[in-house]
Homo-oligomer: A and B are copies of this chain.
Amino acid sequence: MSLLVVGSIAFDSIKTPQDEVHEILGGSAIYFSLAASLLTPVRLVGVVGSDFPLDQLHTLSGRGVDLSGVEVQEGKTFRWSGEYFGGLNHRETRWVELNVFERFQPKIPEAFRDSEFVFLANGAPLTQLGVLEQVRRPRFVMADTMDLWIHTQRPDLDQLLRRVDGLVVNDDEALLLTQTKSLLEAGKAIREMGPGRVVVKKGEHGGILFTQDRVVPLPAYPVHQVRDPTGAGDSFAGGLMGYLARAGNTDGASFKAALAMGTVLASFAVEDFGVRRLLEATPAEMESRYREYCSLLRID
């Protein structure tokens, strides 16, 4: 079934204790699309500046990502820079240049308005709500958010939470959003704010799914060398939503399998800088890692 993502397209500059890269392709919508497109066709809505070399997007269209929702605006593309410390568990933003992303008002092309699965990547809640006004009758809408919006746009965020079926959120943000001290409390409290399915992401420690009747903890896939955690969360979301859209099903068993697939895509994302590893990963490699992950967790 059709899958739409609305999010950022960016140039990322990333520093780790070992390496440093400048202005490589990044952004939530890019990671999401590369991950999800290993599973199903993807419709991408985003914005780039007039400085953006459009051939960078060819790989995406070659993988079944429909780029007809990518707007080119006069000005510079969104730029972000972050640095990772220690065991790469701690990240600090070095600088952000929103550029054309600052005034981004997503226009969903007519051909995308019938999308059945929709992912609203991290963005201003009002912008995310604006997307929902333009899609007709989505079957499953999932959103991401961040501390900035929790602090500054809470009423809009509360409104968004009442309108989505699922939320993916980091552990720190889950605690911040709910003013609780435990992730178990936080996950339940977020469900009471609206979304029936809540996924709290814990980075290298995996994640926890909260549904009406279950709390499902899933570990991360053990990656032997993490080189760059950037985009792990969006790749996770891409694997998850890609799996659901491919299955055309969001029941409990499918959702758990989708979480496992998200975990697998996140594990690819962190194995190299930026989107490199996601670009290399093949569907066969993905299915193989998925089967291995399920088998690791299977207790007979």
Which residues of A approach B to under 8 Å, CB–CB? 86-87, 181-182, 184, 202, 205-206, 208, 214-226, 253, 256-257, 260, 293-294, 296-300
With contact pairs A87-B182, A182-B87, A214-B296 given, residues A222 and B206 touching in the complex (Cβ less than 8 Å):
no
Report the bound CA distance from A219 to B184 in whole Å. Answer: 14
Query: B223 to A184, Cβ gap below 8 A?
Result: yes
CB neighbours of A218 from chain B (8 A): 219, 297
Q: Within the complex, which residue of B181, B219, B222, B300 is in contact with A219, where a contact is CB–CB below 8 Å? A: B219
> Nearest B residue to A205 by beta-carbon distance?
B205
Cβ-defined contact, B296 with A298, below 8 A? no
Contact A296 B182 (CB under 8 A): no
Copy total for this chain: 2
Contacts of A181 in B (CB 8 A): 86-87
Query: Can you spell out 29 A-B residue pairs with CB atoms less than 8 angstroms apart?
Result: A86-B181, A87-B181, A182-B226, A184-B222, A184-B223, A184-B224, A202-B205, A205-B205, A205-B219, A206-B217, A206-B219, A208-B219, A208-B222, A214-B296, A215-B222, A216-B222, A217-B219, A217-B221, A217-B222, A217-B296, A218-B297, A219-B219, A256-B299, A257-B299, A257-B300, A260-B299, A293-B299, A297-B297, A297-B299
Complexed CA–CA distance, A300 and B223 (Å): 23
Complex CA gap A182/B293 in Å reads 20
Find the residue from A225, A293, A297 having the highest chain B CB count within 10 A: A297
